[in-house]
Structure 1
């Protein structure tokens, strides 16, 4: 059985107060949406937390979770990444998609040759980058997720058009 596709929705920032509340940094547009997704999971798909009650903060939520009774237990979970199965999210509108939907999609060149498969979507601070696992094996490479480098998405068919940018090397003499 294959594990369902998981979407990273936040992480435990630590305990809050002295009564065992947990502070969670949310990566969702609406932090309180974390209460509607059901149990939050670890990266391996195992159960992590069940949010019982919550209130919003500037970057997430603070609340009670079923698995934590003390501040020490909450602090022990600091930096725990929290995920939700993709199927718990609403369907995206037409011409919209979740970044998680790109994972596993083939990257093809203009001639239809498979360059590799999208392994992850990374963001190192400037913009989203597709991490591509080459079809021929070897180290992964990165493709900027821009219209110039990815002009066509065919997600329902499982592929995207990948145009590698020109390599930047030493400058030609004037």
Structure 2
């Protein structure tokens, strides 16, 4: 796990109006926070977009970017995913976590046995789910990200407590 991973925060929706403004869909609690993160990066770490001004519009920012002068340039970037290095975010409060910080943590059962590792965090519409890759290999399984299922989280120590749902149970690795 890299020490400063890139966090997906937005996606270019395309041009807005005819004067070179761009609409950027934000996946942050406050869309205007995109203006404070500095250059927004592409997945490869290169600069994708530098917002110089903007206004909130629902879950998006509409504004100007250093790299865009025309509507056509903005439209050409439609679909571009934009990232921010993890260290640009403020520290999480105690008992709060950035979901990206959970990826890579060991999953330990109540007896403190390592049962897997958090592969990803997904949300299929009913809340966040931790995808766990079993330590013994085989198919991944999902753990609801709730206090009951993940009662103890120690990101600085590299692990979390995982209480398996009954329906997951113990599985043999795929042969």
Structure 1 length normalisation: TM-score?
A: 0.88
Q: Quick one: distance in 2 between partners of 1:153 and 1:3?
A: 18
How much has 1:64 moved relative to structure 2? Answer: 1.0
State the 1:84 CA deviation: 0.6
Contact 1:3 1:45 in 2 (8 A): no
Partner of 1:11: helix, strand, or coil? strand
In structure 2, the CA distance between the partners of 1:45 and 1:3, relative to structure 1 (3 Å rule), is farther
Q: Structure 2: how far apart are the matches of 1:161 and 1:152?
A: 5
Alignment correspondent of 2:37: 37
Within 5 Å, which residues of 2 pair with 1:1-174? 2=2, 4-167=4-167
Residues in 2 aligned to 1:158 and 1:46: alpha-carbon distance in whole angstroms: 29
Gaps of 5+ in 2: 169-175
Counterparts of 1:139 and 1:72, CA distance in 2:
45
Count of residues in correspondence between the two structures: 167
Unaligned runs of 5+ in 1: 169-174
Judging changes above 3 Å, is the alpha-carbon distance between structure 1 residues 3 and 81 closer, same or farther for their aligned structure 2 residues? farther
Q: Show CA shifts across 1:109-135 (max 9, x none).
A: 112221221121111111000112222
User: Post-superposition, which runs of at least 4 consecutive aligned residues in structure 1 deviate over 4 A?
Assistant: none
The aligned counterpart of 1:172 is none
Query: What is the aligned partner in structure 1 of residue 171 from structure 2?
Result: none
What is the TM-score of this pair, normalised by structure 2?
0.88
3-state DSSP class of the match of 2:148? coil
